[in-house]
Structure formats: C-alpha cells, structure tokens
C-alpha cells in the first residue's frame, strides 16, 4: 500500500512538471524584456546600415551566435549522432531561417524599420493557416478565421501606398519583402511541427538555423562585396554585439525555455508587444514617419493576430 502511494505521488509530481503554467510575474517580466529586444532588432540593423550592410550583419551575427550555440550543444551532451539523425529537417529549417533574414535585410534597404517589425509578425497568421491544413488537431475555429480575415484586411490597409510620404513605391516594395520574411518564418515553424525536430532539444534546432544561415550568407555577402566595405565604428560593433548576444543567442534561448514551462497561447499573445515596440523605437530613434493608414492598418493587423493566437 505504501509503495502504491509513493508511486502515485511520483506520477502526480511528474504530471505536474509536464503541465504548462500560467504566466506569473517573473515570466511576464522576462517576456517584456524579450519583446523589447526583438522590437529593437530592426532598428539596430537599420541604424548602422551605412557601416555594415544588413545582409552582412545577419551573416556575421549568425556565425558568431552559431559558435556560442555549438558550445552549448556540446555542454548539454548532444552527440554528433543526434545531430545527424535530424539533419534533413535541420537543413530545411536552416534554409527557411536564412530566407527569412535575407528578406528582412533586403526589405530594410527599402522600407522603414517600424514597417518591417509589423509585417514580419504576420508569421503567426501564415503558420496558423499551414497548421490548419497539415497538422491534425490544429484546425482553426470560426473565431480564429475571423481573426485571419481581420489580419489580412489590416495588412492590406497598412500597405496601401501613401502619396504624401517620400519614396512610397520603395516602402511598398520593402513591405512586401517583410511579408515574405513572415511567410518564411511560418514555413520554418511548419517544418519543425511536421518533422522529428518537434521532439529534438530546442538548442539543436537553433544550431541548425544559425549554422546554415552563416554557411549560406557569409559567402553571398563576400561575393556582393559587403564584407569588404565594413566600417567598424563604435555603433556598428555595439549593434553587432547586441544582435549576436541578445537576439540570436539569449533571446531565442529564453523563448525556448519559456515555451517549455508556460502556456504557448499566453506567450504568443504577449509576443505581440514586439512589433508595437518596433514601431515605437523606429519613430523615436530613427524619426520614421507614422502614416495614418499604417497606424490604423497595423492596429487592425495586431488585433487579428491576437484573435488567431489566443
């Protein structure tokens, strides 16, 4: 009887550990820090674009962060055989990750950092549509379909050309590239959910993404001459360090750690602060104009995302 009771308590404890918790004060504070970092990401790239091209920044930060994650993979005891077992989907997520940030880097040469922050976060809508079609049990409810429709309406309104703003055609081109970045992010999510990577340690998935991005983007940056035109100003070094340590390493690992402990739905809703912070940073630090159609359309888009991800 005593053994049965002990076994019951052990199983109960194990189940409690497996259950995701509601967000507490500590998790909420960490999510605010996470969203602030991601919101500042596009601004950090744009601020030093004249010293280091956006593509070179993405390539270098991916390479540096991949080295840090490789050390973490080794420290966690993940073997080469484990890495090879997920190599196929790992290459796919690496390609998707690379495409996402190629579109980000390319788009930032045309559009505003605030615009890129918003359109990149269309990824949850595209991911929800893909999961609805491909993953059993992930079908959208009627309420979520309304959210999808609202998000696309807001997207169209936010992208409507404003003839009063300078370089409106270029901004529209960059906004479209931002949408393609969001689509690439969503495709990466689908690969993870539909492959063996869904059961792999998150740090392993992150390593595939960073390593393949570095292997692909460093040669491309070199061929385009971007690496040879780098000017290592103080601002450029600070921005690159922030992107490497805070974004590509710490922020992504924090996100994975929070996902393992707290409810993904609540984290997803909280993460919608990132594009809001991105718009604020773009306006305050870069002096980017906020047109009425972008503000209204962006707000409608975020409401749609909120409905889809809750």
Which residues are paired to 262 by β-bridges?
21
Whether residue 133 contacts residue 139, with contact meaning beta carbons closer than 8 Å, is answered with no
Q: Taking each helix axis from N to C terminus, what angle separates 123-134 and 168-194, rounded to the nearest 10 degrees?
A: 40
Give the chain's residues under pLDDT 70. Answer: 1-20, 161-166, 263-269, 310
Please indicate, yes or no, if residue 132 is contained in any of the structural domains.
yes
Whether residue 195 contacts residue 135, with contact meaning beta carbons closer than 8 Å, is answered with no
Torsion of CA 132, 137, 139, 140, to 10 degrees: -120
CA–CA separation, 148 and 159 (whole Å): 17
Which residues are paired to 21 by β-bridges?
262
For residue 235, the enclosing domain spans 24-309
CA–CA separation, 148 and 21 (whole Å): 27
> In this predicted model, what pLDDT tens digit does every residue of 36-81 receive, in sequence order?
998 899 999 999 999 999 999 999 999 999 999 999 998 988 888 8
pLDDT, residue 199, reads 80
pTM of the model: 0.82
Please indicate, yes or no, if residue 34 is contained in any of the structural domains.
yes
Q: Where are the beta strands (DSSP E) in the chain?
A: none
> In this predicted model, what pLDDT tens digit does every residue of 191-230 receive, in sequence order?
888 888 878 888 898 999 999 999 999 999 999 999 989 9
Please indicate, yes or no, if residue 17 is contained in any of the structural domains.
no
CA–CA separation, 56 and 106 (whole Å): 11
Whether residue 60 contacts residue 110, with contact meaning beta carbons closer than 8 Å, is answered with no
Please indicate, yes or no, if residue 4 is contained in any of the structural domains.
no
| Overall number of domains in the chain | 1
Please indicate, yes or no, if residue 1 is contained in any of the structural domains.
no
* Lookup result for tokens 């050390």: 71
Please indicate, yes or no, if residue 15 is contained in any of the structural domains.
no
Alpha carbon 116 to chain centroid distance?
12
Please indicate, yes or no, if residue 31 is contained in any of the structural domains.
yes
Please indicate, yes or no, if residue 168 is contained in any of the structural domains.
yes
């Amino acid at each position: 009887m005593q053994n049965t009771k002990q076994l019951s308590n052990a199983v109960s404890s194990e189940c409690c550990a497996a259950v995701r918790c509601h967000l507490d004060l500590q998790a909420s504070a960490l999510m605010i820090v996470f969203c602030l970092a991601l919101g500042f990401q596009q601004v950090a790239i744009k601020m030093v674009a004249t010293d280091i091209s956006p593509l070179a920044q993405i390539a270098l930060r991916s390479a540096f962060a991949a080295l840090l994650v490789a050390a973490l993979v080794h420290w966690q005891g993940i073997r080469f055989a484990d890495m090879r077992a997920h190599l196929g989907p790992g290459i796919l997520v690496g390609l998707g990750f690379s495409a996402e940030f190629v579109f980000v880097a390319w788009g930032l040469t045309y559009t505003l950092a605030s615009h890129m922050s918003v359109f990149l976060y269309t990824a949850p809508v595209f991911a929800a549509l893909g999961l609805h079609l491909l993953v059993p049990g992930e079908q959208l409810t009627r309420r979520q379909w309304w959210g999808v429709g609202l998000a696309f309406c807001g997207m169209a309104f936010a992208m409507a050309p404003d003839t009063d703003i300078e370089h409106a055609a270029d901004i529209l081109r960059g906004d479209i590239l931002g949408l393609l970045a969001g689509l690439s992010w969503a495709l990466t999510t689908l690969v993870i959910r539909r492959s063996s990577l869904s059961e792999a340690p998150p740090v392993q998935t992150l390593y595939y993404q960073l390593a393949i991005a570095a292997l692909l983007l460093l040669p491309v940056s070199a061929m385009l001459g971007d690496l040879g035109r780098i000017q290592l100003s103080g601002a450029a070094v600070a921005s690159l360090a922030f992107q490497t340590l805070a974004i590509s390493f710490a922020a992504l690992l924090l996100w994975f750690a929070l996902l393992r402990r707290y409810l993904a739905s609540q984290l997803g809703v909280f993460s919608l602060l990132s594009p809001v912070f991105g718009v604020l940073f773009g306006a305050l630090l870069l002096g980017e104009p906020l047109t009425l159609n972008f503000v209204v359309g962006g707000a409608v888009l975020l409401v749609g995302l909120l409905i889809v991800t809750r």
